[in-house]
Amino acid sequence: MCSRSCSRWIGVSLYPLVLTSIICNIVLFFPGWDVKYAKEGHITQEVQYFGGIVGGGLMMLIPAIYFHLAAENGCCGIRSGMFLPILLAAAGAAGGVYSFVVALLGVYNGPFCGVFGGIWTRPFQKSYFIYLINHTLWAICSEPENVVQFNTGLFCTLMATSCVQVLLCAIQMLNGLVGCLRGACNNKAFYHVNYNPNIFIAFLCFVL
């Protein structure tokens, strides 16, 4: 697969993964599908690290847009033009790793829940994942309802999503390296005439 086609494919593939990461992180703020826990501060600490929104979301969205637009505008594979995609792919991979680590900690430490007696704590924090296979322990959390399944399911989704994101960014880094060494544009003049990097810079300024 040539550099241009590969970049377009990676950029488009990242969009649904970015959306999934952001949605999962947002939903985690509403355990039991109720806003009162967020208002009362009864939210798992890792949710507030915004791993899905920042790491798997914004840090991945900017590279995805660049890969897609650069390929659509004619060429992304000339030697000098592929250096920036390598840096953006590396930044996206770092965001994916951040999202994965935060989600892993979220699963490892377990949910923040109300136990019998009205005490709010993290009863599985030092269980070393044992609670995941011993479902009888889940009854310890009386509030929010089904919070263990809720917490584990969304964090595991974030982990799976971030793994795919990091893999795609690694492919793009390799793709960019190939473009730097070989070049992959059949018509370099087309790139200089039609692809204006100022458009992308203006878009970043608008987003930020």
Q: Give a yes or no: residue 151 inside a domain.
A: yes
Which position has the token pair 């949605």? Answer: 23
Could you please report the per-residue DSSP string of 84-124?
HHHHHHHHHHHHHHHHHHHHHHHHHH---EEETTTEEE-TT
| Alpha carbon distance 86, 168 (integer Å) | 12
The beta strands (E) that lie in 95-201 are given as 113-115, 119-121, 141-143
193 has pLDDT over 50:
no
Determine the longest span between alpha carbons in the chain, in angstroms. 72
How many structural domains is the chain composed of?
Answer: 1
Question: Which three-class secondary structure state does DSSP give residue 142?
Answer: strand
- Which two structure tokens, joined as six digits, stand for 207? 């987003």
pLDDT of residue 207: 45
pLDDT of residue 8: 86
HSE-CB at 87 with a 13 A cutoff on CA atoms is: 5
84 has pLDDT over 70:
yes
Q: Which residues lie below 8 Å from residue 208, measured CB to CB, with a gap of 6+? A: none
Which position has the token pair 């999934």? Answer: 20
The tens digit of pLDDT for each residue in 85-138 reads 889 999 999 999 999 999 999 999 999 999 988 899 999 998 889 999 999 999
- Mean pLDDT to the nearest integer, 145-170: 96
Q: Domain containing 33: what range?
A: 3-201
pTM for this structure? 0.82
User: pLDDT band at 70, cuts 50/70/90?
Assistant: confident
pLDDT of residue 199: 45
The percentage of the chain sitting over the pLDDT mark of 70, rounded to a whole number, equals: 78
User: pLDDT band at 74, cuts 50/70/90?
Assistant: low
pLDDT of residue 77: 46
181 has pLDDT over 90:
no
Q: Give a yes or no: residue 194 inside a domain.
A: yes
Residue type, 108: Y
Comparing 159 with 73, which gets the higher pLDDT?
Answer: 159
Q: Give a yes or no: residue 82 inside a domain.
A: yes
